[in-house]
Amino acid sequence: MIRIAPVGRALAVAAATSLALTACGGGGDTATQASESAAPASSSSSAPAAAKGDGTLTLGTLLPQTGSLAFLGPPEFAGVDLALKEINEAGGVLGKPVEKFDTDSGDTTTNIASQSVDKLLAQKADAIIGAASSSVSESVIDKITGAGVVHFSPANTSDKFTTINDHGLYFRTAPPDKLQGRVLGDLVVSDGNDTVAIMAMQDSYGTGLADQVEKTVTEAGAQVVERVDYDPKAPDFSADIAKIKAKNPKGVVLIGFEETAKVIGELVKQGMPASKHKWYMVDGNMSNTNYVKMPKGTLEGVKGTYPGASAPDSFRKDLVEVDPKLEDFTYAPESYDAANLIALAAEAAKSDAGADIAAKLAEVSKGGEKCKNFKECVDLLKAGKDIDYDGISGPVEFNEAGDPAVATIGIYQYGDDNKYPVKALEYRTGNIEG
């Protein structure tokens, strides 16, 4: 399926606003975790029904409270909550406080996400922030955009979303994996690894990122001696690690989610610790909570990448005030920026309807007077100015595909406490299409 190009996106939004309203049902509880299963929506390429605004911007979150990416949930929820706190303190959107409903995205082993989307549509969400998992978002994108609602992920990195049929309603603040894959592949080779093994979970995220890493490593003159695309639900990974061990690579790239802890345990068991073979990880398994119970020094020296510029200390402090238990900050900036951009687009459109918001998202992200928070930006809008929101996660600046055209990837390194610091070793910024 082909993603709608600039003119096509505008036509799709115009078509959506000209269609009759399709009712989504009544209201429901606020901040509710979904638990019942529902079948995912079938794929459709027809234009979505127009969701009319009611004057109140309503956001839904579809973020992981359970499942293989549950460790990403707290910082993502905190990012959205901090943005909404600031937005409502500044007077809200369209003169009213923004409303929010929280739900669980689960992961691809359940239908929690589909049921959660049903709940959010019934609660008349104008935009849904989530999911963290690319595969989960892929499973519900038809249902969300088919209802004329903005689907905005702070963490999807699969390249598939650049060309997916989304009716012009899908956006993300996390860059596609082609940039992270290039940065990670360059890092692996520059560290002196001329033989590399890749172990990647088998889904749109894992396979796509592994493809880009393999391409970059090979083009740089190194050799990928073994690649294993594995089932993340497998009971153990002993046979997979045995294949890698047989090739004796200098570097091992691990692409996955929380099951990476089991993979690491097997690497150590089979005599392939990070002290002998250089390990590399990615945003899906970079965590400060997933490995802390392992023996001290298990991850010492391990490097990994995840998207996003350096977040100011003041931002992290504000996040901790929202959630005092916060330990990971991954994708908090992207979640914060997603909520702010949606709110600013609604203000620019003078409407909370999904299609109207989508039509203004690119406009508020580039080309105007620069501003860095909702209050500063909305004051400019009310003064009749064109704005360019530069967020905590970076400049954003959506291209015609709803992707950030320019992005930053941080390179982090674990210490002997099996945690990585909030500041990266370095940050590399590049064009998505570079």
Q: Give CA angle at 129 (128, 132), nearest 5°.
A: 130
What is the length of the chain?
Answer: 434
Structural domains in the chain, CATH included, are 58-175+311-403 (3.40.50.2300), 178-307+410-431 (3.40.50.2300)
pLDDT band at 422 (very low <50, low <70, confident <90, very high): confident
How far apart are the C-alpha atoms of 404 and 402, rounded to whole Å? 7
- pLDDT tier at 345, thresholds 50, 70, 90: very high
Mean pLDDT computed over 165-190:
95
- The pair phi, psi for residue 100, each rounded to 5°, is -145, 140
Burial class (CB within 10 angstroms; exposed 0-12, middle 13-18, buried 19+) of 320: middle
Provide the H-helix boundaries in 176-203: 177-190
What's residue 48's pLDDT?
Answer: 58
Count helices and strands (H / E) in the chain: 12, 14
Of 22-36, 54-68, 123-137, 152-166, minimum mean pLDDT range: 22-36
Dump pLDDT digits (tens) for 236-281.
Answer: 999 999 999 999 999 999 999 999 999 999 999 999 999 999 999 9
For the residues of 61-116, what is the DSSP string, one character each? Answer: EEE-SSSTTGGGHHHHHHHHHHHHHHHHHTT-BTTBPPEEEEEE---TTSSHHHHH
In this structure, what are the phi and psi dihedrals at residue 243, rounded to the nearest 5 degrees? -65, -40
pLDDT at 311 (0 to 100): 83
Instruction: Output the CA–CA distances (angstroms, integers) from residue 62 to 24, 102, 116, 146, 190, in the order listed.
Output: 17, 7, 7, 16, 38
| CB 387, CB 399: distance < 8 Å | no
Helix (H) or strand (E) holding 307: strand 303-307
Q: What is the mean pLDDT of the chain?
A: 89
Average pLDDT over residues 145-168: 95
